[in-house]
């Protein structure tokens, strides 16, 4: 589960944060991407946790450090320090609970208040497998993402739908920003010296360069919605499954009818 190991080899280290209301599925998104695991017994994250995973982009090893900030309102005051240094963010809501969508503007404001303007943000509508319980129209979420210059995807941590795509796209866009910054500085971004740190924002370093290692290659996913938004960094997954979601899944398991 992803404690950070200093001995891991990588070319870039990107911090990404997961934010959104408690129970929208942040922790399961994190565990699905970093460990390919899912649990219905996930409890609300208290404080901050993180996990890591490395992927390949343009033959470079990119290590994602994904942070999960506390979703419950009473814990939000302790999370502001953890936004610092983030190059990217996944702003998560539950497609079956409209209130979690309504709260996105507040989460987005908090994120932008504590990060550099170049941060890459992707809006995530999670639990998209529960189509019969949908309370937020895809069109409404897409319009919000376009208005706020965010990427947008709907995911299902349960069914592994678009989880890989969402994280991989955010990391790829962060990498592109780092490469662009290197070119603007007059460096050859395809042959950066090992050990060089590159800043893409005014607040914190966003990439750390180390020795390349052999890790499974993950190709950049095809994308239907790619709205440009600059980015910042990573973090770990916090979230839990709402009782309604767990009950709906249990009902589905006990039913012989085909999956919705």
Partnered with residue 94 across adjacent β-strands are 126
Indicate yes or no: pTM above 0.85: no
Return the higher-pLDDT residue of 199 and 119: 119
pLDDT tier at 115, thresholds 50, 70, 90: very high
205 within domain boundaries: yes
3 within domain boundaries: no
pLDDT of residue 229: 33
Q: Answer for the pair 88, 118: CB distance below 8 angstroms, yes or no.
A: no
Query: Which region among 15-29, 80-94, 246-260 has the lowest average model confidence (pLDDT)?
Result: 246-260
Averaged pLDDT for residues 98-127: 95
Q: Residue 157: phi, psi to the nearest 5? A: -65, -35
Q: What is the mean pLDDT of the chain?
A: 75
4 within domain boundaries: no
98 pLDDT higher than 50? yes
Q: Answer for the pair 12, 63: CB distance below 8 angstroms, yes or no.
A: yes
96 within domain boundaries: yes
Query: How many independent structural domains does the chain possess?
Result: 1
259 within domain boundaries: no
Range of the domain at 143: 12-253
30 pLDDT higher than 50? yes
pLDDT of residue 181: 82
pLDDT of residue 252: 55
Tell me which range, 3-7, 47-51, 243-247, is most confidently predicted by mean pLDDT.
Answer: 47-51
**Burial state string for 67-80 with b = 16 or more CB within 10 A and e = fewer than 16:** bbbbbeeebbeebe
Share above pLDDT 70 across residues of the chain, in percent, rounded to a whole number: 62
156 HSE (CA, 13 A, CB side): 13
27 within domain boundaries: yes
CATH of the domain at 25: 3.40.50.300
Return the higher-pLDDT residue of 247 and 146: 146
Averaged pLDDT for residues 42-64: 85
33 within domain boundaries: yes
Tell me which range, 76-80, 81-85, 151-155, is most confidently predicted by mean pLDDT.
Answer: 151-155
Q: Answer for the pair 29, 235: CB distance below 8 angstroms, yes or no.
A: no
pLDDT of residue 170: 98
pLDDT of residue 61: 95
1 within domain boundaries: no
Q: Answer for the pair 26, 92: CB distance below 8 angstroms, yes or no.
A: yes
């Amino acid at each position: 589960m992803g404690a950070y190991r200093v001995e891991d080899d990588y070319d870039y280290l990107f911090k990404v944060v997961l934010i959104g209301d408690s129970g929208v599925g942040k922790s399961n998104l994190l565990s699905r991407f970093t460990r390919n695991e899912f649990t219905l017994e996930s409890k609300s994250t208290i404080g901050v946790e993180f996990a890591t995973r490395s992927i390949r982009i343009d033959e470079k090893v990119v290590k994602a450090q994904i942070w999960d900030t506390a979703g419950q309102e009473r814990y939000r005051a302790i999370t502001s320090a953890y936004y610092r240094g983030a190059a990217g963010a996944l702003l998560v809501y539950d497609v079956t609970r409209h209130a979690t969508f309504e709260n996105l503007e507040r989460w987005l404001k908090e994120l932008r208040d504590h990060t550099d303007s170049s941060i890459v943000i992707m809006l995530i509508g999670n639990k998209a497998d529960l189509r019969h319980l949908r309370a937020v129209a895809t069109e409404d979420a897409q319009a919000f993402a376009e208005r706020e210059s965010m990427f947008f995807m709907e995911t299902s941590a349960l069914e592994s739908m678009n989880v890989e795509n969402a994280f991989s796209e955010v990391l790829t866009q962060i990498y592109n920003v780092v490469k662009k910054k290197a070119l603007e500085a007059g460096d050859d971004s395809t042959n950066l010296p090992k050990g060089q740190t590159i800043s893409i924002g005014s607040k914190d370093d966003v990439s750390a360069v180390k020795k390349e290692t052999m890790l499974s290659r993950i190709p950049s996913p095809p994308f239907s919605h790619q709205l440009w938004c600059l980015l910042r960094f990573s973090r770990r997954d916090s979230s839990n499954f709402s009782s309604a979601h767990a009950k709906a899944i249990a009902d589905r398991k006990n039913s012989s009818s085909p999956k919705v």
